[in-house]
Chain A
Amino acid sequence: MQPKAGLSSRDGELRSLSEFESGKILESYVIPVVATTLATTRQEAVEAAASTGHPVVLKGCSADLTHKSEAGAVKLNLTTSAEVASAFTAIEAAAAGALDGILVQPQIKGTRELVAGMIRDPQFGPCVMFGLGGIFTEVLDDACFRIAPLEERDALAMMDSIRGSAILGPVRGTAPADRSALSRVLISLGRIGLENDSIDAIDVNPLLLQENGAPVAVDAAIWTTR
């Protein structure tokens, strides 16, 4: 995955960080990221899954692995140690050795996928993006931007300015989005851009709304300028 066409701006070679590295940076800015263990052996994965609690997700982790699902490097909803062990083997085989390790994460319940990110605009510098996530990012292209730094009212206004903003309300029995937690995520993404010149773009997709309405980053990528 590359930053979307037209969004990344700087000349010079971009380097993408792995999901694990990206998550650590987001966490340092108090952005909620799904609990993640980096396992390098099958045994570590099985133990991490047990202590996380089943069901879990396994993902191959590498800066070079950009289309994880398409590469067969994501295994969802693993409910037993045996399933975890065989998923580990399958991902190792699919990734053909280019892995830093394999990520073990709890299977998060939630169907509302959002996207949030940061890009550097050639005229305005760091800008924060927010919109509908997952497959809808490509299908509906429903996203809005604000120039960093964001104030809380800017972040709240972003939530109302996407066409699909109804997804943040109570939908089909799920709790409404925790808007103040979401606004903290957006404000933090702007701060990362302002405080780290070397970070060129951030893509948190999906930023999942859990059933209780709290957002959590389930996948993330950060690009840096070498």
Chain B
Amino acid sequence: MLKPESIAVVGASRDKPGASWVDMFGQLVEFGYRGRLYPINPKADVIRGHKAYAGLPDLPEPVDLVIIGLSAPIVPWILRDCVATGNRNVHIFSAGFGETGEDQGKALQEEITKIAVEGGLRVIGPNSMGVFSPRLRLVTWAGAPEAVGSVGILTQSGGFADGILGYGSQIGLSFSTVVNYGTGLTVDASDLVEYLSEDPETDTIGVYLEGVADGRRLFDAVRRTTPDKPVVMVKPGASRAARRTAASHTGSLAGDDRIWQGFFAQTGAIRVDSVQDMAHTIDALRRLPRPAGNRVAIIGTGGGSSVVAADSCSRAGLDVPPLSADARAGLRETIPAAGNIITNPVDAHDVMTDPAQMPPVLEVLSSQDYLDMVVVYFHVDWMYDVAPDRIAALASFLAESGAAHMNGKPLVATWRSYRSGPQYRKVIQQMREILVDGGIPLFPDIDSTARTLARLADYSGFLASAKAT
């Protein structure tokens, strides 16, 4: 049902010339869905050039996916039609069921659950945006990116799906499948993890989940997946306010967060807290080699910001070890003494503004057996003042050959800029594009850099201990 070759949309809107709003059927047509499309609307003969049908019984074939966009009270009727006509796979877009917490919604939810279970229907939703597959040109909402990639996302929240697609695209992620499954009537997170786990087009899995009916099944599914494919997960509900909100959003029981902490420790799923953190973590997992440990070196400029950066890393669970005498001597061969402080973080104005000095510096740092990762920390305002092209020059060096000097260890970049002015925005955008294209993960600040690298180190530790037992 996630790779449908034929789709029927029940409740496809009739053609309305000049209408600004595009319904799900319109989105499918406009995005250029590659399979066979059947609009269902008894009041139309043709919709957007496709022959329209009065109902599911009139279709020439059972379809791989039925999408229902009608209001909640009508949905039970359509589901009975699905059962009667052998259309087993259903996406219910409509809201207004159990998640409302009101009696009518709950009664409807019970009714559709009974129909779906007894009729053997596989149902995504209700209250869900459904399936996005750029390969099939399948989407039911506006604004989805066109690029085909290998990140699979399953989410209870439609807004989260939209957010991860938007932000992920900005930092260079592209997607294989995104499923917003909403309330998860008969298809829930465990089924979708199992699917993406087996899907050869998906190499990394992102999950937004508020609660799950059968936690043990999810536990087993995720635990089987993480040794081969990383699973990055937002599981809100650490606070009482979040648990209350989850109950009214997807009707989920968020559960005791301390047990979820156990879930993450045992399955090796990587916990993140936001759309941005998920995108950056997935990006880093996909582009970087696995770090051997949590020990990081930072190269940048500025005494105070070096101290703050060291603190930020420590707080996130990273170690910022001092450099050995050998390493300091090695760096001294490249870096002049005046104005540069050779310790960790390395505070080296000359290196940051002269990319030719960077290769030996990266070689020295990455050859230390007590260092696992290197962060290059751009101070945009200062570098711009030295010469406007310095930022692009360093970014280009890192993008083209940075990794070649890392002895197989992860290299990432981050930046800070506090000034207003379009010239700064412009070089930041340029830096971002160069690094994204060059495969160097770029983080928006030192805190998110530190958090993500710490997660990578934890995941390495999990893989090592999973292998050992």
Contact = CB atoms under 8 A, between A and B. Distances in A.
Interface of A: 6-7, 121-125, 127, 143-147, 151-154, 157, 161
Contacts of B213: 123
Interface in B235-263: 253, 255-256, 258-259, 261-263
Given A123-B212, A123-B214, A157-B265, A145 B258 contact: yes
For chain B, what secondary structure do more than half of its interface residues adopt (helix, strand, loop), or is it mixed? helix
A18 to B, nearest CB: 28
Contact of A147 (B214, B263, B465, B469): B263
B255 A121 contact: yes
A122 B469 contact: no
24 contacts: A121-B259, A122-B253, A123-B211, A123-B212, A123-B213, A123-B214, A123-B215, A123-B216, A123-B259, A124-B255, A124-B263, A125-B215, A144-B262, A145-B261, A146-B262, A146-B266, A147-B215, A147-B216, A151-B469, A152-B469, A153-B468, A154-B265, A157-B265, A161-B261
Contacts of A6: 256
B219 interface: yes
Contacts of B263: 124, 147
Contact of B469 (A121, A123, A153): A153
A5 B455 CA distance: 32
Contacts of B469: 151-153
Interface in B421-469: 465, 468-469
B265 A121 contact: no
Given A121-B215, A124-B216, A145 B262 contact: yes
Nearest to A150: B266
B255 A127 contact: no
Contacts of A122: 253, 255
Contacts of B211: 123
Nearest to A125: B216
Interface of B: 211-216, 219, 253, 255-256, 258-259, 261-263, 265-266, 465, 468-469
A36 to B, nearest CB: 31
A123 B253 contact: yes
B261 A7 contact: no
A124 B261 contact: no
B219 A143 contact: no
Given A123-B211, A127-B262, A153 B216 contact: no
B216 A145 contact: no
B349 to A, nearest CB: 41
Contacts of B266: 146-147, 154
Closest 10 CB pairs of A and B: A123-B215, A124-B215, A146-B262, A145-B262, A145-B259, A145-B258, A123-B255, A121-B259, A125-B216, A153-B465
B384 to A, nearest CB: 44
B262 A7 contact: no
A127 B145 CA distance: 42
Given A123-B211, A123-B214, A153-B469, A146 B265 contact: yes
A144 B263 CA distance: 11
Contacts of A144: 258, 261-262
| Residue from B212, B256, B261, B469 with most neighbouring chain A CB atoms (10 Å) | B256
Given A123-B212, A124-B216, A154-B266, A143 B259 contact: no
A7 B256 CA distance: 8
A217 to B, nearest CB: 22
B123 to A, nearest CB: 20
A125 B215 CA distance: 8
A7 B259 CA distance: 10
Contacts of A125: 215-216
A115 to B, nearest CB: 13
A161 B265 CA distance: 10
